[in-house]
Structure 1
Amino acid sequence: MIRFLFFCLLFVSPLSLAAVNTLQDLQHQLAQHPLIRGHFDQKRIMALFEQPLLSSGQFTLSHSDGLIWQQDEPFPVHLVLTQNKLQQTFADQPPQLITAQDNPMAFYFSHIFLAVFHGDTDQLTRQFTLTLIPGARWTLTLTPKSAPLDQVFDSIILSGQQYIDTLSLHEVRGDVTEMMFTQQSTQPETLTDAEKAQFNF
């Protein structure tokens, strides 16, 4: 659950094409757009398996409402995350509801990464050492400073240009998750009626 929340919550807002030279530049650009939609491809490399685990699907991220995460392959998984609730549906099974009260640790992780959504580098600096490689195409490495984050991850690496293009999660136990984000758009600028309905659970 915690790892899946990381996969979901490290989407951030689209960036302009201007060069990012400082964390302050990045903070400003990460908070520009309230809504983004796109496609994801995920590859998870695990020591227990000879072949990587592949998945793909679509996402909708709203700063005010939360995240809709629709995995299409290799099997359908539908997830809707808000500030304090998570609803997940596997294939044709009934939806499962998890609240912050049910699993406070999972929502501790999610609240940390909401700071990424809002470009809140002040909060992130309290939890991570941030290393920025600047430029029009930039890379940001987050290295956890303390438990519980450093018990799960060695580092989290994001890179992009106008948008975040790739995300790599490097776990302490050696597993690596690589994600690629494509077809990203900020249009339409508001949620559709169908998307709004999904957040009302």
Structure 2
Amino acid sequence: MINRLTATVLLLLLFSPLLQAKSLQEIQALLASQSIVRGDFEQRRTMEMFSQPLTSSGHFIIHKESGLLWQQTAPFPVNLILTDEKLSQKIGNQPAQVMTEKENPMAFYFSHIFLSLFDGNAQQLDQQFTSEFSEKNNDWTLMLTPNKAPLNSVFSSISISGEQYVDQIELTELRGDKTTILFSKQTEQPENLTPDESALFQF
């Protein structure tokens, strides 16, 4: 569960239109201003034990008030829903597995850090990472190096890059495994959750 969470939740909560941001401060301000982002994803996980990367794809919604909806459609259906209080994972037609912070405090530790980043909380960033921001021809990159446990016991670096939106996130683990998440078709429309989407967060 920790691996799935880090690959699909950890940095997705940084999403927001960045409008050719020139500084980390501009990114944080824009992150705090957006209420919803929708889009598609393709995830590639490279592991030493496999000769080819493991790939998956699907759709996501990040809603500032409700949480994260991560709907994998290939190679098999997985629904992951994260709120402030609960995490639900449903694989195919199996019953959903629901956990709370008390049951898995480490998973919620990760998610709370990045929910704070989604709110533009610079203090959390400064406390957990050494950051390096660069910009060239309207493309920008934010490199994060964890400097505190438990993040620095899992990751060697986390790279976030894009232009108008976050387009790519790359998580490099200390053991050498790497996860790359590519995003496309990002939009803020419709501005509100549909009734069906709202119902998914009520679990």
TM-score band, normalised by the shorter chain? over 0.9
Residues paired across the two proteins, number? 200
Partner residue in 2 for 1:164: 166
Counterpart amino acid of residue 14 in structure 1 = S
Aligned match of 2:181: 179
Within-5 A mapping of 1:1-201: 1-6=1-6, 7-11=8-12, 12-18=14-20, 20-135=21-136, 136-201=138-203
Report the Cα distance in structure 2 between the residues aligned to 1:16 and 1:131, rounded to whole angstroms: 17
Tell me by how many angstroms 1:118 deviates. Answer: 1.3
Q: Provide the TM-score with structure 1 as the length reference.
A: 0.95
Per-residue deviation at 1:13?
A: 3.6
Moved segments of 4+, more than 6 Å: none
Counterpart CA distance in 1 for 2:141 and 2:104 is 32
* 1:200 aligned counterpart, secondary structure: coil
Aligned partners of 1:21, 1:184: CA distance in 2, in Å?
20
Question: What are the superposed Cα offsets for residues 93-134 of structure 1, whole Å, 9 maximum, x if unpaired?
Answer: 111111101001110111111122112122111000011013
Name the CA distance, whole Å, in 2 between partners of 1:149 and 1:166: 20
The sequence identity of aligned pairs, in percent, is: 49
Cα distance between partner residues in 1 of 2:120 and 2:141: 15
CA contact (8 A) 1:44 1:175 kept: yes
Structure 1: state its 5+ residue gaps: none
- Whether the 8 Å CA contact 2:18–2:27 is kept in 1: the answer is no
| Residue 51 of structure 1, CA deviation | 0.9
Q: CA deviation at 1:4?
A: 2.1
Which stretch shows the higher mean deviation, 129-138 or 89-98? 129-138
For 1:119 and 1:22, the matched residues in 2 are separated by 13
- Alignment-mate amino acid for residue 196 of structure 2: A
Q: Which amino acid aligns with 2:31?
A: L
**Is 138-147 or 24-33 further displaced after alignment?**
24-33
**TM-aligned CA deviation for residue 16 of structure 1:** 4.3
Which one is further off, 133-142 or 70-79? 133-142
Moved more, 113-122 or 155-164: 113-122
Q: Deviations over 1:2-58 (max 9, x none)?
A: 23222224123432434x232211111222210011000011000011111010000
Aligned-partner SS, 2:33: coil
Output the CA distance in 2 between the equivalents of 1:121 and 1:27.
Answer: 7
Q: Bigger CA drift: 78-87 or 128-137?
A: 128-137
Is the contact between residue 156 and residue 170 of structure 1 (CA under 8 Å) also seen in structure 2? yes
Asked if structure 2 preserves the Cα contact closer than 8 Å seen for 1:23 and 1:132, the reply is yes
